[in-house]
A and B are shown apart, each in its own frame.
Chain A
C-alpha cells in the first residue's frame, strides 16, 4: 500500500491512530452536556429521516412516469397544526433542558475554590489565592469545585476547556466567572475561542487536573511566598488606601471590614451588593459608588493599578473580617513606609 500512495498510507497509519471523534469527559458537567448533545442529534436524525423518507416516498410514488396527472390539494389545517405543535413541543423541551444545563454550568456552588484569570493578547495568566502564578496553564485539583473569576486586560477573549464543556467570554472592564469540577486527572486543552488578533490560535494552554494530593504538592512547590491577599495588603498601603479606609471613627472613607458580600447603602439612595466586580469598579470609578454619609472625594485609580493588582486588592478586602486587620495594616504601613512591591504589580 505504501508504495502505491504514500499520502494515503500516511493517512491510514499515522492519522487514523490519532483520530479523535468524541471529546474526553473530564468534569462533572461533561456527561450532562453530552446527554443533551446526544438527544439533540437524536432529534436531528429523526427530523432528517422523517423528511428524507417522506421526500423519497413521495418522489418515487408520484414521479411523473407513474403518476402523470397531479391531484391539486389546497392544504390541510390538521397537518399544519401537527407540524407546528410537535416541533414547538420538542423545541420547548430543548429550551427547558438547555436552560437547566446553563444554570448548572454557570451558577457556582458556594464552597468553590477561587482562582483568578487575566487574559491579554496572547496569553492566559492564572493567579491562585495562595500566590501561585501560571502562564498558559492552570493546575486544578479533581473532585473539588473551582471557580474562575476572569478579566481581560485588552480585547475580548474566551476561556474554553472543551474536556470540561465549559467556556466563558473574558471581557475588558468587568469580571466574568465560570466554574467546573474536574473528575479525571490529566492534561486538557485550554483555548481562547474569541478571535483576538494575530496570535489568536497561539493563545492556548494546558489545564492540568491533579488528584488533591498531587495538587497539594504542586501548590507547595510553586508558591511565590506571598498570597494574593498579602500582595493586596502591601498594595493597599503603598497606594495610600489606608489613609482613608482605616476603620477609625474619624476616617474619610468607609471601613472595609466585612464589606465583601454585604449590601451597601449608597448616597443616592440605592443599595448595591459588594461583589468582586463591584469592589474592582469602586477602585476605578469611585465617583459612581459613593456610600451613604461619605463625600465623593476618592480619586480614581484607573491606569494606576494593573488587573493583577486589582485582583490582589479585591482578595485583600475579602479577607478583612474586622477592623482589627485593617488597623494592623495601618501600623505595618507606618512602621515600614517604603513597602516593597512586586515590579509588575503596579504600573509605573
Chain B
C-alpha cells in the first residue's frame, strides 16, 4: 500500500536544536508560559487524565449493567457513576478537547501569527480549567454527586444532599475557561492573520473553531446563570424554579438547554475542522466546496442557538413552540449533511492513502452519519415521544460525541502528533487501534438503539431481564473500546522517545503549520509569512518543494 509519508533520512536526521519544547527548562517555565503551544500541551495532558477518569466511570456503568439486577453497587453509587461520567466527559473533556489542545496549538500557526491575541488570558483559561477540574475531584473525594449532568430541578435543588454546589462551582469555573478560549480565538482570527491570509484562504479548521468560539462566548454565560440559580435556590431558596413559591421548574430546562444544546455543536464543530484537514491531506486534493463547508459551520452556529426546546417535547411546552423547534431542528441537520457529502466528494479524483488519521476520519464519517440521522428521529415530534429518555438517545449522542467527536480528536492527535513532538507515532499499531476503536464502538452503542426502542430508560441501575442480551453485547463492546483507547496512550508515549524523526512536513500537507520546523520554534515563524495561496493548494506546495530542491 502506498503512502505519502516522507520522512527525512533517519540516519542523519535530528530534532531541531531549538524548539518550543526545549526553549526553556523547568516546571515553572511550563506553569508560567504564555506560549500557546505549551499551553496546548498542558491542556492535552490534563484532558487526557480526565478522559480516562470519565472512562473509568463509563466502565463501572457498563459493568453494573452486565446483569439485570443492581448487584455490583448500590443505586446511589450507580447514580453517582453516571453523573460523574457525564460531568467529567462533557465539561472537562469534550468541550475543551479539540479547541483547547489542537486549536490552541494550531490556530495561531495556521493563520501565520506568533501567538494568540491574549497569551496570559490563554494561560488563565488553563488555570480555570484546572480549578474546575479540582472542584470536580473534590466533589468526588467528598462523596460524589448524583444529580445527573443535567442538574434537573427541583431534584438538584431540594431533594439531594450530595455535593451539588461543589460540582456546580466546578462547572461555573470551567465555563469561564471555555469563554476565554473562545474570546481569544475570535480576536486572534479577526486581528492577527498574516498578510494575504484572507478569510477565504483560512483552513477550514480555523473556520470551524471560529464558529465554535462564537457559540462558547454567547452560550456559556447562560449555563453560568442557570447553575448559579441552582446554587442560590439550594442555599437560600430564592424560588425561581419552585412552583410552591411561584417559580417555574420548566424555566431551568429552558436555561440549561439554551447552553447545553449549542454545547454539542461547540463539541462537534472543531471536530469537523479536523476532518476537513485530514481528508484533504490524504486525498491530495482541496476540500470539495470550500465555501459550502465554511458557511455550513456558521449556519450550524446560528441555527444551533434556536433548537434547545427539542429537549423538552414531552414536557408540556406549547404546541406552537414544539412545531417551531422541531422545524428548526430539521433545518440544523442540513448543514451537517452538506459537510458529509463535501468530504466524501473530496476523495473523488484524489489520490487517496490510508494512514491512521485517515482511518479515524473514515470512522468519523460513518459513525457521524448514523449519529446525525438518528438525531432526525429525535427531532421528529411524534417519534421523540417514544424515544426520548431511553437508551436510544444515549446511543444517538454517543454516536455523535464518541463516534464523531472522539474519532475526530484521535484523528487530529495522530495527524498533528509529528508537528507537536517532532516524532512519528508507530503506523501499524495505530492502525490497529483505529480499527479496534471502530469495532468496539459499534458493538457498544449499536445495541443501545435496539434496547432503547424496546423502552429501556436511561439512568437505570437495574432493568428487566429481557434487555440483558443487548446490554451484555454493549458491555463486551465497551471492553474492546477500552483497549482501543489505551493503545494510543501507550504508543504515543513510546513515540516521544523512540518515534521516527518526522521532519517539517511528513504528510506533504499544505497548511502553514507544515511549512515550519517540527516541533516549531517558540515564535512559530522566523519571519511573518506572506500568504499568496488558497488553503489546500497542492500545486503551490509542489512548486515550493521543487524550488527548495533546486535551491539546495
Interface residues of A (CB under 8 A from B): 11, 15-16, 18-23, 32-33, 36-37, 40, 43-44, 47-48, 51-52, 54-55, 58-59, 62-65, 67-76, 79-80, 83-84, 87-88, 91-92, 94-95, 97-106, 121, 154-156, 158, 160, 162-163, 165-169, 171-174, 176, 189, 191-202, 285, 302-303
Contacts and interface: CB of A to CB of B under 8 A. Distances in A.
B77 to A, nearest CB: 10
Contacts of B331: 88, 91
Given A62-B352, A156-B155, 11 more contacts: A21-B454, A55-B362, A70-B283, A70-B538, A91-B330, A166-B386, A173-B249, A195-B458, A198-B146, A200-B461, A201-B462
Contacts of B334: 84, 87-88, 91
Given A47-B373, A75-B288, A199 B75 contact: yes
B453 A172 contact: no
Interface residue SS majority, chain B:
helix
B1 A65 contact: yes
B349 A70 contact: yes
20 contacts: A20-B467, A51-B341, A55-B344, A58-B352, A64-B4, A72-B286, A72-B538, A80-B338, A88-B330, A91-B333, A98-B326, A98-B382, A155-B154, A155-B159, A168-B314, A168-B385, A169-B315, A195-B152, A195-B459, A199-B75
Nearest to A32: B382
A68 to B, nearest CB: 6
A201 B381 contact: no
B75 A68 contact: no
Interface of B: 1-4, 70, 75-76, 79, 146, 148, 150, 152, 154-155, 158-160, 243-244, 246, 249-250, 283-286, 288-292, 313-316, 319, 322-323, 326-327, 330-331, 333-334, 337-338, 340-342, 344-345, 347-354, 362, 365-366, 369-370, 373-374, 376-377, 379-386, 388-390, 450, 453-455, 457-470, 472, 538-539
Contacts of B459: 195, 200-201
B467 A156 contact: no
B249 A95 contact: no
A197 B160 contact: yes
Nearest to A18: B466
Contacts of A173: 243-244, 249
Contacts of B243: 172-174
A62 B353 CA distance: 9
Contacts of B383: 33, 36-37, 40, 98, 101
Contact of B458 (A33, A84, A106, A193): A193
Given A162-B455, A165-B386, A72 B285 contact: yes
Given A75-B292, A99-B381, A48 B458 contact: no
A62 B348 contact: yes
B450 A21 contact: yes
A95 B350 CA distance: 37
B316 A23 contact: no
A194 B322 CA distance: 19
B382 to A, nearest CB: 2
B420 to A, nearest CB: 26
Given A95-B326, A202-B462, A169 B352 contact: no
Contacts of B314: 158, 167-169
A20 B380 contact: no
Given A155-B159, A202-B462, A95 B70 contact: no
A203 to B, nearest CB: 9
Contacts of A302: 244
Given A101-B382, A102-B381, A15 B469 contact: yes
A51 B367 CA distance: 11
A215 B316 CA distance: 30
Contacts of B75: 198-202
Given A20-B466, A54-B344, A55-B362, A37 B79 contact: no
B398 to A, nearest CB: 16
A73 B348 contact: yes
Contact of B249 (A33, A73, A172): A172
Given A58-B344, A58-B348, A121-B159, A70 B384 contact: no
B339 to A, nearest CB: 10
Contacts of B70: 201
Contacts of A168: 314, 316, 385
Contacts of A158: 314, 389
Q: Which are the 7 A-B pairs with shortest beta-carbon distances?
A: A101-B382, A162-B455, A173-B243, A98-B380, A102-B381, A75-B289, A193-B389
Contacts of B283: 62, 70
B539 A63 contact: no
Given A59-B347, A165-B386, A99 B457 contact: no
B386 A162 contact: yes
Given A65-B2, A75-B289, A55 B457 contact: no
B351 A69 contact: yes
Contacts of A54: 344-345
Nearest to B463: A201
